Chain A
Amino acid sequence: MTESPILEMKQVSKRYGATTALEKVTFSCVPSEIHAVLGENGAGKSTLMKLMAGVIRPSEGDIIVDGAPVTFASPSDAARLGIICIFQELSLVPDLNVRANLLMSAPGSGLFRLDTSILAQAQQLLERVGCGHIRMNARVGDLSLADQQVVEIVKGLVKKPRLLILDESTSALNTTVVERVFELVRAERDLGVSVLFISHRFHEIEALADRISVFRNGRLVDTFDNGAHTYSEIIDKMVGQPIDDLFPPKPDITSRGDGEVVLQTDNLAISDALDGISLTLRKGQITGLGGLDGQGQTTILKALFGLMRGVEGTIAVAGEVTAIPSPAVAKNPGIGIAYIPEDRKTEGLIQSQSILENLELPGIGNPGKQPEGGDTFTPWLDRLELKHGGLELPVSSLSGGNQQKVVLSKWLALAPRVLLLADPTRGIDVKTKTQIYQMLRQLADEGTAILLLTTDYEELIHLCDTAHIVYGGRVVAELTGEDITGQNIIAASMNVGVAEAGHA
């Protein structure tokens, strides 16, 4: 490891407004090495990659390539220096065919000339990974996600990278294809390429990486050789020290007994998105929904709130099988479901309207009492300590945390029986998080059934009474009580089996 690094980062930070995505990270990529980057959702891995690939620019610190500091204006600047990123969110154009996508970004292509010499090589690469069935004429949008990922990888490899960044690039591939892709990656390494590899799958990292770096909350926690630490030790590094006083105390379920069933689903399925989802939400319980991003958790919530078409299986509310074809039906007091969506800015609130108008919105068209006027909402706003300069101000004048309080209040005023929440604390400051946690626990104690989708392991561990881990559209683990541990959650999230990770 005496070779000088291709790319170095020195004290690099990246901030989005008040949120820090990456804090003073120093990192280097040396030739002929496969370097794996590990961390929870939101640990800063993707930010790191985007900085290297020129998609975003650092707020502070230097990126140094071949010993000289650089500023990337766009991904093409980084590509010119041989830094090629294979993105998690695919960079393929869905309306063009495979050939066009490959040609478009080929190093020799410009506004006029297209470098067709890479096509033969691309075809060869496709065959080497056993994906010769992918036709050059096929429209990319018509390919399966796995095939798209293969095309994305091939697109990166034909650019002759010096630093190859793989950002969750194998998440949709099956094991045989993954193994062949790894052979390609190893071959690149042996040619002197530096490889940076992000994956949530431990066995992939074990099989491929030379060195491993662990990130947590935007900081680089540790860098070590592959094999120096066991699974459990690595997971401990990823999770870090739990912050106990963030969360309200959990009631002892076993002594209190099971609450009355409020909502029950039986084998919910949506053609290729969900399969066999059977959940039971009880009075007084917070049920957690965990797993890696995009495994179908959001779809479950959307299905319960009448946002999905083609839902099979049954949903029973208070013991009665009920059809929920739309949000208007779901919020009806007879059913009483409220949904706090993932993106509060666009889905949860109407930014240009006032706080009060936003609060009154769910009540419109609802039979029975309609919450109206500022006073109706005072109890909720006070409980959440909403800081505002007057309810007539536009909701966009509030900070992110306070906006989330408005979203919560507008639904709570309808006194829902079931509260569905999609990652309600993502990107929110610690104080507001604590307030939301306490509120949720109080609501549960008052009899609301709560289904909490979260990407934060801590919330599953410390807030939820039961945790369902979703992988590939199925619930792969149901954890309760003492079994809700970081190790078990991470293991189930990656579908490696609880025992395997716990005792490795």
Chain B
Amino acid sequence: MLDYVRSNRREMIAAIVLIVLLAYYLITHPRGPSTYVMTIWANQCLILALAAAAQFFAVVVRGIDLSVGAIMALANTLASHLLDGSGISIVFGIAAVIAMGAACGLLNGLLIVFGRLQAIVVTLATASIFVGLALLLRPTPGGQINYDLADAMTLDVLGIPTAIVITVALIVCFWLPLRRTGLGLGIYAVGSSEQAAFQSGLNVVLIKVVSYTLAGVFAALAGLYYGFVTTTGDAGIAATFTLNSIAAAVLGGVLLRGGVGTLVGAFAGAFILKTIASLMFFSGIPSLAQPLFEGLILAAAIVIGGADVLRVRDKLEVFAR
């Protein structure tokens, strides 16, 4: 139990912070705790949570993905063309959007691994490409997403917001099983010490490519869900979501140096960030000052997370971090 707490302390801290913030939000909300309030809140949180999950898969293998927002925008605009018609064509549309995300992530992964390029440079370039494609698909916000589908994904199931159901389902049906596979351990091994992973006989190349592909898939899911919430396609969402996905992941205890953090943590970080934004909306802080406060909170979280550098004896090691 002690080991469990120790190895998951970042996630635990994030979860406690989230519960406190949510309780405060529900108490101060003018309309009080209700399914409606919870649903609006959860929908906003889930969009960012999926983007943070995408960022998690890039960061955990000691990379970064600056194209998360761009893939979201591309997925969102594509969905606004494909997800309005008969039931069967919608199913194919969803599959196409996810496949497109996987292809974008795969492209990132292949360029980074086989081109031996830095993730930050590769994804900066591909982000431009993806946004460019999204703008071709949807020069101005618009399009249509099937209302019945959108309602099903964004309202509630027996009083529980669908977004919460999806979040829990992803954790239970995807993340927990993944951790029990070679891939689930491999992504940590590669991010923590690529050399040790290689010497242990892991297929480092394959693991990295798969991890970036998963990042692409989650970014596409985020774009898709954004479509369900707004029922339109918008190519202009890329920049905000890329930066917020990094912020959310860091806030949830995912270390940018790789090898540390969990999908649950990234989710928690996203929920915290969105809750803070919603709190400020109702707290009377001028909306123009909101980025300032979000930034201060993020900076504080990062400083606390990096405090263990004070224990290092050899000053040269500090630079190596």
Contacts and interface: CB of A to CB of B under 8 A. Distances in A.
Contacts of A79: 201
Interface string A314-345: 00000000000010000000000000000000
A53 B199 CA distance: 9
B3 interface: yes
Interface string B196-209: 11111111001100
A103 B181 CA distance: 9
A93 B195 CA distance: 9
Nearest to A327: B315
B186 interface: yes
B46 interface: no
B188 A112 contact: no
B186 A111 contact: yes
B192 A95 contact: yes
Contact of B189 (A93, A137, A308): A93
B313 A75 contact: no
A93 B183 contact: no
B259 A110 contact: no
Given A55-B199, A87-B199, A138-B3, A114 B189 contact: no
Nearest to B179: A100
Given A76-B203, A104-B200, A135-B3, A112 B259 contact: no
B7 A91 contact: no
A352 interface: no
A24 interface: no
Nearest to B255: A95
Nearest to B202: A104
A113 interface: yes
Contact of A310 (B192, B199, B313): B313
A119 interface: no
A376 interface: no
Contacts of A95: 188, 191-193, 259-260
Given A104-B200, A105-B202, A135-B3, A307 B189 contact: no
Given A114-B182, A138-B3, A308-B315, A96 B192 contact: yes
B203 A308 contact: no
Given A104-B186, A111-B181, A135-B3, A271 B200 contact: no
B287 to A, nearest CB: 40
Given A114-B182, A307-B315, A100 B188 contact: yes
A105 B183 contact: no
B192 A104 contact: no
Contacts of A93: 188-189, 192-193, 196-197, 200, 259
Interface in B182-239: 182-183, 185-186, 188-189, 191-193, 195-203, 206-207, 210
Given A97-B3, A273-B313, A307-B314, A103 B185 contact: yes
A52 to B, nearest CB: 13
Given A112-B181, A347-B316, A91 B3 contact: no
A271 B312 CA distance: 12
Nearest to A137: B3
Interface in A61-101: 74-76, 79, 85, 87, 89-97, 100-101
B6 interface: yes
A50 to B, nearest CB: 9
Contact of A270 (B191, B198, B313): B313
Contacts of A310: 313
A104 B182 contact: yes
Interface residues of chain A: helix, strand, loop or mixed (majority): loop
The bracket for how many chain A residues form the interface is 35 or more
A10 interface: no
B180 interface: yes
Contact of A114 (B185, B195, B313, B315): B185
A337 B199 CA distance: 40
B53 to A, nearest CB: 19
A186 interface: no
B4 interface: yes
Given A97-B3, A302-B316, A114 B181 contact: yes
Nearest to A299: B314
Nearest to A310: B313
Contacts of B183: 111-112
B316 to A, nearest CB: 6
A302 B314 contact: yes
A309 interface: yes
Interface in A180-213: none
Contacts of B195: 89, 91
A104 B185 contact: yes
A103 B183 CA distance: 11
A121 interface: no
A109 interface: yes
B182 to A, nearest CB: 5
Given A94-B192, A109-B182, A137 B4 contact: yes
A105 B200 contact: yes
A347 B319 CA distance: 11
B3 A309 contact: no
Nearest to A92: B196
Contacts of A113: 181-182
A76 B202 contact: yes
Contacts of A76: 201-203
A310 B310 CA distance: 11
Given A74-B201, A113-B181, A308-B315, 10 more contacts: A75-B200, A96-B192, A104-B186, A109-B182, A111-B181, A111-B183, A139-B7, A299-B314, A302-B316, A347-B316
Kindly list the 3 A-B residue pairs having the minimum CB-CB distance in the complex, ordered from nearest.
A76-B201, A137-B3, A91-B199
7 contacts: A75-B200, A85-B199, A95-B191, A104-B200, A114-B181, A307-B315, A308-B313
Interface of B: 3-4, 6-7, 180-183, 185-186, 188-189, 191-193, 195-203, 206-207, 210, 259-260, 312-316
